[in-house]
Amino acid sequence: MGIAESHAVTFASGLAAYNMLPVFAVYSTFLQRSYDQLIHDAALQGRKIVLAIDRAGFVGEDGETHQGVFDVAYLNTIPDITVYSPANFAEFKSFMNKALYHEKGVVAVRYPRGEESVFPEDFTPSLGSFDVYSSEGAQIALITYGRIFACACQAKKALEEKGIPVKIIKINRVKPIDGNILDALDGVQKAFFFEEGIRTGGIGEKLGSMLLEKCLNLKYKLVAVADCFVEQGSVAEQLAENNLDKNGMLRIILEDENDGGE
């Protein structure tokens, strides 16, 4: 397809109409050129196509034009699309298998540039719609998905060294969100959502609206990419500038604790 991304989505939908199973591999930043086709030619028609969304999240030296921070927000607006966000290679393999053989309609699997995240030894992923990684007595929850789950685990360890037990909720299927996540927040007093994507229209905002609708009595803080274009730099620099690395997460949570949570 070359660089004709909008044509590629329509072409894939045409293949699907004849019982083929197309996989469209595309950079996140270029998939946004296909928004109209995703709605009219794919989702609205009920076509089964798989989107392998590369370069999801920060892209480092690829540059300002290539930041993959918008895909979750705009895919979240399209009915009948399923979106998975694996955090390592094993999850990618599992979720791609689900996308190909166990889901209907348009299914996206989004993954970042670079090496895979390292999971803590005592964490066993379920490969379900979400995972809970918790310490006994946790009244603080960190909620996230994708690559920065590893950063959340590092922050969890540092907080627990300070005597603050933490629960991490790791979202694997970011669209549709599993409503059981709200049950997993039962007993939590404060929830911090860290999202390597644009704040406006993202999953953090979606979960926040779900919390309001269910009237859960907890404090909720969303940390995500602001209403701006992310400048070029290394991935580590971009995570740090947006408070999405270990140190940024720690700073946000500890500042809240020192302020008395007000």
Residue 42, helix vs strand vs coil: helix
pTM of the model: 0.95
What values do phi and psi take at 117, rounded to 5?
A: -75, 155
Mean pLDDT computed over every residue of the chain = 95
- CATH code of the region 130-258: 3.40.50.920
Beta-carbon contacts of residue 186 (< 8 Å; ≥ 6 apart): none
Type of residue at 101: Y
Are the C-beta atoms of 168 and 132 separated by less than 8 Å?
yes
- Give the residue extent of every domain in the chain: 5-110, 130-258
Are the C-beta atoms of 29 and 3 separated by less than 8 Å?
no
**Per-residue model confidence (pLDDT) at position 260:** 60
Decide if pLDDT at 215 tops 90: no
Which residue shows structure tokens 């990419």? 225
pLDDT-based confidence at residue 262 (cuts at 50, 70, 90): very low
pLDDT, tens digit, 9 for 90 and up, residues 97-138: 999 999 999 999 999 998 888 889 999 889 999 999 999 999
Other CB atoms within 10 A of residue 234 CB: 11
DSSP 138-185: --EEEEEEGGGHHHHHHHHHHHHHTT--EEEEEESEEESPPTHHHHHT
Q: Do domains 5-110 and 130-258 have the same CATH topology?
A: yes
Decide if pLDDT at 52 tops 80: yes
- CATH code of the region 5-110: 3.40.50.970
Ranking 83-87, 122-126, 205-209, 220-224 by mean pLDDT, the lowest is 122-126
pLDDT, tens digit, 9 for 90 and up, residues 162-183: 999 999 999 999 999 999 999 9
**Per-residue model confidence (pLDDT) at position 258:** 79
What values do phi and psi take at 8, rounded to 5?
A: -60, -40
Which residue shows structure tokens 């009219």? 40
DSSP state of 63: -
pLDDT-based confidence at residue 257 (cuts at 50, 70, 90): confident
